[in-house]
Amino acid sequence: MPVWPGRYRFVVELRTEERDRRRLAEEVHLGPRPTAGSDLSVCLVYPNTYPVGMANLGFQAIYGILAGSGVAVERAFVPDGGTREKLRSFESRRPLSSFDVVAFSISFETDYVHVLDVLAASGITLRSAQRGEREPLVVAGGPAVFLNPEPLADFVDLFLVGEGEEMVPEWLSALQDAATVRRSELLEASAAIEGAYVPARPSDSRVRRRYVARLDDAPTQSRILSPEAVFGDMFLVEASRGCEWGCRFCAAGFMYRPVRHRSLASLRDVIVKEALPKRSTIGLVGAEMASHPGIASLCRTIADHGGRASPSSLKADLISPMLAAALDRGKTRSVTIAPEAGSERMRRVINKNLTEDEILRAAELLGQGGVRTLKLYAMIGLPTETEDDVRAIADLARKIRARLSGVGRLTLSINPFVPKPWTPFQWEPMQRIDVLRDRARLLRDDAKSIPGASVDLESPREAYWQTLLSRGDRRVGDILEAVHRAGGRHWPVLRRAVADGGVGACPSPDEFVHRRYAPDEVLPWDFIDHTVAKSYLLAEWRKALLERETAPCDVATCRSCSAC
């Protein structure tokens, strides 16, 4: 029997409201509560579902700043079943179109289409040039957009480029000083702060990325605990930002330069006094955690207080007997290491600074230390890769398996290489999908003979979509809108765009995904000043092709990349 559309929408909205009310009641707030009755209202949106958004430390950090600033702030997420109903705020079920500012916190490019979904479901005009004066000011920030905001440029009024702890308080102060809450005046006030980028205003000047010099001045940790969040059983604490090792594919290692560590004393204080009374598992967040000074001591402290440390990826050659023992003492049974490539040659190309002997030694230490599940991150489709390099991933896993007598499960997490802005590989194309599929099949076949091993492979189609959004210019917005109108089904739109030679003003997606950019080409993201010299990235790209490694950053003495 057909369902009357109006009745269907009513039932969906009712279920969403009931679910949100339950989630709200289950939350534990550890920071300031928002101010009621402010003249300025902001809806902070994570363009994905509630469980994903509430696991994001960046989103939680910005919410904490907004809640303590005197503005009336609420949150919004993509409903679990998609944006079929009119989108409302999480706290009060208020229409997003009634807020003065709708601010998106965006960590991943593949969430760009959800920005359009949220705007449409909120009744807000998609294109900023057509937006009315009384509609909300649409703002976006987060790591994805300060790498390359251009694919979203036609849909966003204002981008905040850089680390939010540094610039959001200034932005809020500018908004509160504005004479009214009319969209044009809020935009005018916002445009004056350093790091603001207004796509509708052509400018010859570069936009300087803002960053926090001392992490102790801006502690980033769980502000709201929710049992439904991904990692909902953990208290998350950011221990470092950036990475000193300079892997040539890694955006975090370049966009967050210089590397910064939160002090051991500060970490111990927050973990003992705030985290462990709330959660027994402490998620230590950073691009690479084994490099943090005192990581073994910190894990031992957590264990001494009856907790369990769960660090993010550990660089294999830095896993010491002391760290392995500390993880064992806290009963940490699952660890991730990231060799990224199987062969020594490929690890030189990507500047991993990691030998096979070091990887095997780390695996042995972890196995002896009580680890029962080991995850290995690696990539296929890297520049200059051959089939022998792919086979070497399975060979390395087989050697690791032989050293892990006590480990029950070994997972190979394999991702196609996606070239990212502001890395030495930003000029490189993504490998062709048919080649990636062949190499994935080769890897799966080789891994079948490894006892207790499984292969988890990210879809090459998803990697293609991510590459388009990572390397694209403003014209990619036409494809983004086409995917939005297709209900988020990106692959049929992309196939048709390739066959037709493009969509609207945008050329074929292959022009951005499978083309090697020229060294002297003006790149879509060049107008952002990340303080890393483009000449340095180019030199690193050339060293990769020569299979030459670069030593890790020494922030005290090195000035090679210009970030320090």
Q: What is the secondary structure of 371-382 as a DSSP string?
A: --EEEEEEEES-
Report the distance separating Cα 135 and Cα 249, nearest Å. 40
Report the distance separating Cα 469 and Cα 463, nearest Å. 10
Tokens 């006094």, located at residue = 273
Which residues have C-beta within 8 Å of that of residue 414, sequence separation ≥ 6? 378, 379, 380, 393, 440, 443, 455, 456, 457, 458
Kindly tell me the sign of the dihedral angle through the C-alpha atoms of 488, 429, 527, 162. positive
Tokens 């003492």, located at residue = 329
- Is there a single domain that holds both residue 514 and residue 447? no
User: What does the block give as tokens for 269?
Assistant: 């204080």
- Do the strands 453-457 and 409-416 form a parallel or antiparallel pair, or are they unpaired? parallel
Q: Which of 445, 467, 489 is the last residue of a domain?
A: 467
**What SS3 class is residue 252?**
helix
Phi-psi region of 504 (alpha: psi -120 to 50; beta: other; left: phi over 0): left
Query: Looking at the chain, how many residues does it have?
Result: 564
Report the distance separating Cα 422 and Cα 525, nearest Å. 8
User: What does the block give as tokens for 26?
Assistant: 């289950």
CB 399 within 8 A of CB 356: yes
Which residues have C-beta within 8 Å of that of residue 46, sequence separation ≥ 6? 52, 53, 54, 56, 59, 75, 76, 77, 78, 104, 105
- Is there a single domain that holds both residue 324 and residue 242? yes
- Residue 5 confidence (pLDDT): 47
Q: Does 411 fall in a domain?
A: yes
Residues 35-71, buried b or exposed e (16+ Cβ, 10 A)? Answer: eeeeebbbbbbbbbbbbbbbbbbbbbbbbbbbbbbbb
Report the distance separating Cα 308 and Cα 310, nearest Å. 6
Report the distance separating Cα 359 and Cα 337, nearest Å. 9
Kind plus residue range of the DSSP H or E element containing 502: strand 502-503
Q: Apex CA 44: angle with CA 41 and CA 49, to 5°?
A: 145
DSSP-assigned beta bridge partners for residue 260: 241
- Is there a single domain that holds both residue 360 and residue 434? yes
Which residues have C-beta within 8 Å of that of residue 372, sequence separation ≥ 6? 333, 334, 406, 407, 408, 409
Q: Does 546 fall in a domain?
A: no
- Residue 14 confidence (pLDDT): 65
User: What does the block give as tokens for 500?
Assistant: 């037709």
- Residue 533 confidence (pLDDT): 94
Report the distance separating Cα 308 and Cα 288, nearest Å. 18
Number of domains in the chain: 2
CB 209 within 8 A of CB 529: yes
Measuring CA to CA, which residue among 90, 98, 83, 85 is closest to residue 63? 90
- Residue 340 confidence (pLDDT): 95
Domain holding 82, by residue range, is: 1-208+472-531
Q: Does 423 fall in a domain?
A: yes
Kind plus residue range of the DSSP H or E element containing 397: helix 387-403
Q: Does 453 fall in a domain?
A: yes
Kind plus residue range of the DSSP H or E element containing 43: strand 41-46
Q: Does 220 fall in a domain?
A: no
The pTM for the full model equals 0.94
User: What does the block give as tokens for 262?
Assistant: 């939160």
**DSSP class of 369:** T
- Is there a single domain that holds both residue 63 and residue 171? yes
- Residue 368 confidence (pLDDT): 85
- Is there a single domain that holds both residue 490 and residue 395? no
pLDDT tens per residue, the chain (564 residues)?
A: 333 344 445 455 667 889 999 999 999 999 888 877 788 999 999 999 999 999 999 999 999 999 999 899 999 999 987 766 789 999 999 999 999 999 999 999 999 999 999 999 999 999 999 999 999 999 999 999 999 999 999 999 999 999 999 899 999 999 988 868 789 999 999 999 999 999 999 887 899 999 999 999 999 999 999 999 999 999 999 999 999 999 999 999 999 999 999 999 999 999 999 999 999 999 999 999 999 999 999 999 999 999 999 998 899 999 999 999 999 888 888 889 999 999 999 999 999 999 999 999 998 888 888 888 899 999 999 999 999 999 999 999 999 988 876 667 899 999 999 999 999 999 999 999 999 999 999 999 999 999 989 999 999 999 999 999 999 999 999 999 999 999 999 999 999 999 999 999 999 999 999 999 999 999 999 999 999 999 999 999 999 999 999 999 887 788 789 888
Q: Does 370 fall in a domain?
A: yes
- Residue 84 confidence (pLDDT): 67
DSSP-assigned beta bridge partners for residue 88: 95
- Is there a single domain that holds both residue 198 and residue 286? no
Q: Which of 467, 484, 518 is the last residue of a domain?
A: 467
Q: Does 147 fall in a domain?
A: yes
Q: Apex CA 321: angle with CA 319 and CA 322, to 5°?
A: 95
Report the distance separating Cα 498 and Cα 331, nearest Å. 51
- Is there a single domain that holds both residue 461 and residue 483? no
Q: What single letter denotes the amino acid at residue 235? A: F
Report whether the peptide linkage leading into residue 32 is cis, meaning its omega lies within 30 degrees of zero: no
- Is there a single domain that holds both residue 188 and residue 259? no
Q: What CATH number does the domain containing 302 carry? A: 3.20.20.70
- Is there a single domain that holds both residue 311 and residue 173? no
Report the distance separating Cα 24 and Cα 487, nearest Å. 28
- Is there a single domain that holds both residue 357 and residue 386? yes
Q: Does 181 fall in a domain?
A: yes
Q: Apex CA 112: angle with CA 110 and CA 118, to 5°?
A: 125
- Is there a single domain that holds both residue 476 and residue 462? no
- Do the strands 260-261 and 308-311 form a parallel or antiparallel pair, or are they unpaired? unpaired
* DSSP line for 98-165: GSSEEEEE---GGGHHHHHHHHHHTT--SSGGG--TTSPEEEEESHHHHH--GGGTTT-SEEE-B-HH
- Is there a single domain that holds both residue 140 and residue 56? yes
Report the distance separating Cα 336 and Cα 313, nearest Å. 5
Q: State the distance between the two ends of the chain, measured CA to CA, in whole angstroms.
A: 67
Report the distance separating Cα 562 and Cα 337, nearest Å. 29
Q: What is the rounded (10 degree) CA torsion for 250, 116, 48, 2?
A: -140
User: What does the block give as tokens for 73?
Assistant: 């702030």
Q: Which of 450, 467, 484 is the last residue of a domain?
A: 467
